[in-house]
Amino acid sequence: MHHKFCLIDASTESNEVVPLLLNGSLNWTKQATHGNYENVTVTSQRELVEGYMKEFERLWVLFKPIV
């Protein structure tokens, strides 16, 4: 797996906060932002944010560390 997505304020219930989804190939390094051809999409579209939030929760449970 090589998922790259970031959820910002996605679990908030506040109407004053806009949840965001960042998704793409971008590595968060200086080389990636200044020397590579990377892509990133930023959206606040509720359906997309919720879909990725569900996927995050699924992965969180699936790969929970064995204690």
Which are the catalytic amino acids? 2, 4, 9
User: Distance between CA 7 and CA 51 in Å, rounded?
Assistant: 11
The secondary structure element, H or E, covering residue 8 is strand 5-8
Task: Report d(CA 36, CA 54) in Å as an integer.
Answer: 30
